[in-house]
Amino acid sequence: MLITYASHPDPLCPVLVGLFEDKSMTITEKETPYFEACRAFAKDRDLEEGMLIQVSESIVLMGMGKKPNTTEGWKKKGGKLCQKIWTRKPFNILMHAMDKQDLRALVYGAHLRAWRFDAYRTAARPMPPILCTEMTFVTHETLDHRPDAAIIESVHWARQLVNEPANHLTPPVFVQRLEELSALGITVEVLSTKELEKEGHGALLGVGQGSLHPPYLVALKWLGDAASKEAPLALVGKGVTFDSGGYSIKPASGMEDMKMDMTGAAVVGAVVKAMATRKEKVNVIGVVALVENMVSDRAQRPGDIVTSASGQTIEVLNTDAEGRLILADALHYAKTRFKPRMMVDIATLTGAIRVALGPVYAAVFSNQPEITEELIKAGKDVSELLWPMPLHPRYDESMNSDHADLKNIASPGFGGGSCTAAAFLHRFVGDTPWAHLDIANVDHLDRDTECCPKGGSAFGVQLLCRWILESLA
């Protein structure tokens, strides 16, 4: 979707005017004859939100409902606007009466919603064609949508990956998608099975050994401030392109959603992509572990003991607790290879977090309260909400194994599955300032919303971009 601004409408294109519940409009009296025609038409009519009415051959009036009083409310208005018009012919959308910040939020929401996953719908069952490939907002304000567009298009990029079926998005294909980012000036380093074996990434290799498709560890480097002597930020993402659970196999019901168990990796790639597109003067490293967790005669078994890249040995009591295993090696790699000033990992890590928080908040764990506060604030700003969760010595103790340095799940009945998973990851962080985002409860939607269709949501892209730009840039 192309978003443009203009100071005057294109005379060859019909105009769209918004009418609010209080009879105010998105244009002022100065925009005659549009204002007079719309006011006369709407005088004795109530337009429900989303309703489109033809005022004349060149003017369409749209019901906008009640005026929002929050940025998020205006974004939702924009998303609804997009849904109503993008399968219709293009309009000049008149917004002269809109406050600059409100308009920016509305346009942001419209662009955010202007994406759908339709790659596999054929002529046998086509989706409605998208006719409105460009939205032109007519305003007297001077606005530049390009910085917002860089983030939104990165969200769309991540949503596309997250919704891909696992037979199309295998670890090697994911690597190819990441390598394409080099066109933006991102340096892409790929560790294949041979390099992973050489460097002792036994935790990652163990998860991947049951699959036909080999595992990878990929580093994405955006050094927008190459002259800086400050250590970079490292983002680490879980990329399980399909999670059967391995021999600790998952129930059949809902297993199809496990194609989205690579959301963390997609989010990390999207954030680095956004920083590069915006040419931000920040140094950000993205590290993603890519693997497929399958059942085969070569697959990892419950009770196996693996040696992680850190040298710590791990008893694998549950092969479905695989995300923490690959993140263990990815966190160690990020810490030792790039020596970052801080690390943030993001992962669809535990089903337990849905029990704890439902589909509203994602969880944040951190060894630095300041990082927690900054991330929570960034999340509020973009409506990707985080709730602080505890790291406690008891959770750490629950990870001790009788036969290895640690085990990948706590003993039966201990509970606190999300907290013990975070405690496991903490063992591979050392003294590096670190936060862990568990997004397993918010990574996909079971229904359409104003700004995102049903399916993978790419939760975390906007949050982490806002955090970097507000706190670190």
Task: Please tell me whether residues 295 and 399 are part of one structural domain.
Answer: yes
In angstroms, the CA 453 to CA 456 distance is 8
Task: Please tell me whether residues 204 and 138 are part of one structural domain.
Answer: no
Residue 89 is a catalytic residue: no
Which CATH number does the domain housing residue 226 bear?
3.40.630.10
pLDDT tens by residue, 35-73: 999 999 888 888 899 999 999 999 999 999 999 999 999
Task: Please tell me whether residues 378 and 299 are part of one structural domain.
Answer: yes
Quick one: pLDDT at residue 402? Answer: 97
Close Cβ partners of 199 (under 8 Å, ≥ 6 residues apart): 191, 309, 333
The whole-chain average pLDDT of the chain stands at 96
Residue 39 is a catalytic residue: no
Task: Please tell me whether residues 429 and 388 are part of one structural domain.
Answer: yes
pLDDT at 127 over 80: yes
pLDDT at 77 over 80: yes
> At which of 89, 119, 143 does a domain end?
143
Instruction: Write down the catalytic residue from 250, 337, 354, 377.
Output: 250
Tell me the residue range of the domain where 362 lies. Answer: 148-472
Mean pLDDT of 89-103: 93
Stated length of the chain: 473
Number of structural domains the chain divides into: 2
Task: Please tell me whether residues 288 and 389 are part of one structural domain.
Answer: yes
Quick one: pLDDT at residue 237? Answer: 98
Task: Please tell me whether residues 300 and 343 are part of one structural domain.
Answer: yes
Confidence of residue 155 (pLDDT cuts 50, 70, 90): very high
Closest of 124, 106, 128 to residue 116, by C-alpha: 128
Task: Please tell me whether residues 105 and 203 are part of one structural domain.
Answer: no
Instruction: Write down the catalytic residue from 80, 324, 335, 427.
Output: 324
pLDDT tens by residue, 379-410: 999 999 999 999 999 999 999 999 999 999 99
pLDDT at 236 over 90: yes
Task: Please tell me whether residues 369 and 423 are part of one structural domain.
Answer: yes
Task: Please tell me whether residues 230 and 288 are part of one structural domain.
Answer: yes
> At which of 122, 143, 164 does a domain end?
143
Can you name the residues that pair with 92 across neighbouring β-strands? Answer: 15, 136
Mean pLDDT of 133-145: 90
Task: Please tell me whether residues 305 and 218 are part of one structural domain.
Answer: yes
State the distance between the two ends of the chain, measured CA to CA, in whole angstroms: 28
Quick one: pLDDT at residue 46? Answer: 84
Task: Please tell me whether residues 129 and 228 are part of one structural domain.
Answer: no
Which CATH number does the domain housing residue 83 bear?
3.40.220.10
pLDDT at 193 over 80: yes
> How far from chain centre, in Å, is Cα 162?
9
